[in-house]
Amino acid sequence: MTHMTTLDELKQQITVLASVEESDAPFISCYLNLENRQTGWRDVIDERAHILRRILKGNDLADLEEVLGKIEEWLTTDLLPEAKGVAIFARGTCGGAFMLPMQFAVPLPNWIAVYPTPNIYHLMELKDNYHRYIVLLTKPDRACILEVNLGAATTAAWINEPDLRTRVGQEWSRPHYQIHQAHRGNRFVHAKISILKQLMQAGGHTHLILAGDPEITGRIRIALPNELADKLVDVIPATERDQQADVVMATLYSFIEHEEMESRSVAERLIEGLRSHNLAVAGTEDTLDALRWGEVDTLVMASGYQPDPGWTCTACRAIGTELPETSVCPECGKPSTRSTDIREALLRLAGQLERPVEMVEHSDELMSLGGIGCLLRTQLDKQIDHQTAAAAATG
């Protein structure tokens, strides 16, 4: 992928990665932070590869070397200079060749893991924190509507106001010009709002930030219709001397703060659902069960959620939250269980169901409930009745 990954593409790729079947071969999940030095990725990969080469043997080591070669080749040839973060997922020929690179305008942590399946936590975190929004950047004589998609800004529309002074003495008399000038500001404001409304509706955008000249943004804010005012996140002051990239970065910081507030609001909805009974579940085991039912509305995860390892069966794909004493699967009876990362297992299930995931930075109440939970599409008692009926029908 030789362009910045968009939100729609990221959603599709998460579903693909969450559905990758595990094999005995190692799967490499490589996240790189390129904020300081674009060539710094070599040091990160070399340091991690030195450790992995001492651990892996035989075909696994051969797959690792193959994958590292492909990753370095892609970084050398396809990496964009403006990229600040990269995520590459790859597996060698022995396990069934796979290669999926993505690059972003926002940073990712330096993190390289070897696991039977792709690790998607940092992608989920990226999607939740940044996703996309619209910026209306205004100046006295023109405005620019930008779409900020995972931190990358693209111009959606320009709105220019002609210099009416050139018409004095040509088309209009001085009084005519003065009367027109008194109304030009309002017409310019409404023209911006009209185009903004069309673009936001067409793109399905749910967040808006105004930036630029404080006098103009103030008038636009007052004139916004309710459907746009409800989507307004913040108003950022900026002058004509400010670079567009700097203004976008300022809106990005503001948007992240707003997103954190929205995440805490979802956590509060989860807690209220628990108080109301049957509208939500919390805790690792209950959340795993709810994801199995397939009726989860939103998975809510605290950033500090670090559960103990669980288990999965390579034969029947069952998942459990507590490691069994032996390798025998409690579900199918085969000696085919192995340790698994429960956090990743929950995220994979959410990804397969294409359910949204809210990452919550600060919530003591959520952490007291185990750090994980989910809002349900239907009430818990209906789920239990459905599961009981299905079991009886197959009994």
pLDDT digits (tens, 9 = 90+) for 59-75: 899 999 999 999 999 99
Q: Is the pTM of this model over 0.95?
A: no
Token duo for residue 104: 């972003």
The predicted pLDDT at position 324 comes to: 79
Residue 228's identity, in one-letter code, is: L
The predicted pLDDT at position 240 comes to: 86
The predicted pLDDT at position 178 comes to: 44
pLDDT digits (tens, 9 = 90+) for 167-216: 334 444 444 434 444 445 577 788 889 989 999 998 899 999 999 999 98
The predicted pLDDT at position 346 comes to: 97
The predicted pLDDT at position 172 comes to: 40
Question: 183, 191 in Cβ contact below 8 A?
Answer: no
Dihedral angle, C-alpha 220, 226, 231, 233, nearest 10 °: 50
Question: 114, 24 in Cβ contact below 8 A?
Answer: no
Catalogue the E-assigned strands of 180-244.
Answer: 208-212, 232-237
Nearby residues of 249 by Cβ (< 8 Å), 6 or more positions away: none
Q: Which domains does the chain have, with CATH numbers?
A: 1-126 (3.30.960.10), 131-242 (3.30.420.60), 259-395 (3.30.1330.30)
Residues of the chain with pLDDT under 70: 1, 38, 161-185, 380-395
The predicted pLDDT at position 96 comes to: 85
Residue the block writes with tokens 């959410």: 350
The predicted pLDDT at position 160 comes to: 72
Q: Which residues sit opposite 111 in a β-bridge?
A: 31
